[in-house]
Amino acid sequence: MTTYLPGDAEYDLLRKPLRADLDPHPAMIVKAERTEDVRGAILTARSQNLPLAVQATGHGTHQSTDGAVLLRTNEMAAVLIDPDRRIAKVGPGATWGQVLKAAAPLGLAPLSGSSPTVGVTGYTLGGGMGWLARKFGFAADSVTKARIVTAEGRLLTTSADQYPDLFWALRGGGGNFGIVTGLEFKLYPVAKVYAGTSTLTGDLFENLAAYRDWALNLPDEVSSAAVVRDNLVIVKTLSIGHHVPLWTEPATTDVREMGYAEASMGGTAARYFDYFAKLTDDVLGAAVANHEENGSTVEIRHWGGALANPGPDAGPVGHRDMPFSVILDNPSATIADELSPDAAGAGFLNFTGDPKKTERAYTTANLKRLRAVKSFYDPDNFFHLNAGFGAGDAKRVIAKRRRSA
């Protein structure tokens, strides 16, 4: 276990997450190289009464780690592929780029997301919605086994048969239950896809409305999003098996056959996110007006398919029946109110930067079950520097323990 303190040369290189507005100064940074180091970091933090935060890439860190023990896992980035079982086994620091590189030569694909630089573990624990998701579901639901160090420093291996409640909660409940030191998950036989972007000129609203009607009839093999940027509508598509043309001839297109690992489809920073059961004309009109007002990128993402048909063993990811989401990277002051009559008022953990809105990612029943698992494995809410189950949760749990002590 290598530790860095303020003043050490590497401390400054390791302390910052992706978000430029966060400039945290942790009390100590621990660079883990093995599971024992993860345990060591947890026990050190507990013995010094300090909070602990974990970071693989820093892409999903939305809270300051000031004064905390910051556990960096990026050195633990082993990736092993079992082609016969179509399983990947990865360390907690692995990125999607590393898994794609290892799986592609074997004709296999993981349920990765829009960027190869994102960490596999953080992405998967938060649900994981990628460009193969309409065909194969959330990445979280493809996890077959996880190793985790709990708040007490116990190392557990969890699967459908071992600690099943913990296994259920991990697959969509985020980093609330412990530090994951290894994940096993399914891969899929997807070698070639047709992917790329097509640009539509003309009326923004008309193009978005036509996209909505087209997307609703797509087979599960096709994933898509419509992005409004620079007064254009850009339709991103990725299809498995064969090319599916748009409803109209685009002004330009670069859609072509390629290996899945090459298909880097990009995404939009989710400063506004909500699901919509119906994308009404009012919703599309308000989103276009927001773009025209301040240049905000608008991304309409198509969900549905396998996402809406989870098996009986699926994890806690909520709102699975929602066919569309709207993402804005520069929401106007009034847009949330304008969209609220049609919006589901719901969230998806990986696209929820505001820890106070985490609860919206789950149904009431699943939130209750997640809290029960949390209070069993982490009754003191030691793991709270993450997307927790609501800002009040830590206080509620601690107050309850004090009352019963």
Ligand X SMILES: Cc1cc2nc3c(=O)[nH]c(=O)nc-3n(C[C@H](O)[C@H](O)[C@H](O)COP(=O)(O)OP(=O)(O)OC[C@H]3O[C@@H](n4cnc5c(N)ncnc54)[C@H](O)[C@@H]3O)c2cc1C
Would you call 224 helix, strand, or coil by DSSP?
A: strand
Strands 324-328 and 298-302: antiparallel
Instruction: Between 125 and 204, name the residue whose CB sits nearer to ligand X.
Output: 125
Q: Exactly one of 24, 51, 172, 175 binds ligand X (CB under 6 A); which one?
A: 175
Outline where DSSP puts E strands in 322-377: 324-328
Q: What number of chain residues touch ligand X (CB under 6 A)?
A: 33
Instruction: Between 24 and 58, name the residue whose CB sits nearer to ligand X.
Output: 58
168 binds ligand X (CB under 6 A): no
CB atoms within 10 A of CB 49: 6
What is the rounded CA–CA span in Å between residue 70 and residue 22? 14
Residue 281 CB, nearest approach to ligand X (Å):
27
Q: What is the dihedral of CA 288, 347, 279, 248, to 10 degrees?
A: 70
388 binds ligand X (CB under 6 A): no
51 binds ligand X (CB under 6 A): no
239 binds ligand X (CB under 6 A): no
137 binds ligand X (CB under 6 A): no
Maximum Cα interatomic distance, the chain, rounded to a whole number of Å: 69
Q: Exactly one of 113, 182, 305, 318 binds ligand X (CB under 6 A); which one?
A: 113
What is the rounded CA–CA span in Å between residue 102 and residue 155? 27
Q: Exactly one of 3, 44, 114, 332 binds ligand X (CB under 6 A); which one?
A: 114
Would you call 387 helix, strand, or coil by DSSP?
A: coil
Q: Pick the piece of the chain touching ligand X (CB under 6 A) from 119-127, 241-249, 274-282, 332-340.
A: 119-127
For helices 204-215 and 281-294, angle between their N-to-C axes, nearest 10 degrees: 140
Q: Pick the piece of the chain touching ligand X (CB under 6 A) from 48-56, 97-105, 201-209, 389-397.
A: 48-56
Q: Exactly one of 4, 15, 17, 169 binds ligand X (CB under 6 A); which one?
A: 17
Residue 175 CB, nearest approach to ligand X (Å):
3
60 binds ligand X (CB under 6 A): yes
Outline where DSSP puts E strands in 287-331: 298-302, 324-328
347 binds ligand X (CB under 6 A): no
Output 388-391 pairs: Cβ under 8 A, ≥24 positions apart: 388/174, 388/176, 388/355, 388/358, 389/176, 389/358, 389/359, 390/356, 390/358, 390/359, 391/355, 391/356
CB atoms within 10 A of CB 356: 11
Binding mask 67-96 for ligand X (x = CB under 6 A): ------x------------------x----
Strands 87-90 and 179-186: antiparallel
Residue 280 CB, nearest approach to ligand X (Å):
25
Instruction: Between 139 and 279, name the residue whose CB sits nearer to ligand X.
Output: 139
Beta bridge partners of 31: 2, 72
Q: Exactly one of 111, 132, 180, 327 binds ligand X (CB under 6 A); which one?
A: 180
Q: Exactly one of 52, 88, 99, 179 binds ligand X (CB under 6 A); which one?
A: 179
166 binds ligand X (CB under 6 A): no
Name which of 350, 309, 357, 301 is nearest 325 in CA terms.
301
The answer to whether the beta carbons of residues 178 and 152 sit under 8 Å apart is no
Instruction: Between 172 and 210, name the residue whose CB sits nearer to ligand X.
Output: 172
What is the rounded CA–CA span in Å between residue 71 and residue 41? 7
Write out the binding residues for ligand X, residues 244-303 only, by CB under 6 A: 267
125 binds ligand X (CB under 6 A): yes
CB atoms within 10 A of CB 187: 23
Instruction: Between 114 and 248, name the residue whose CB sits nearer to ligand X.
Output: 114
Instruction: Between 118 and 238, name the residue whose CB sits nearer to ligand X.
Output: 118
Q: Exactly one of 29, 42, 56, 322 binds ligand X (CB under 6 A); which one?
A: 56
Residue 57 CB, nearest approach to ligand X (Å):
4
* Binding-site ranges for ligand X (CB under 6 A): 17-18, 54-61, 73, 92, 113-115, 118-119, 121-123, 125-130, 174-175, 179-180, 267, 350, 386
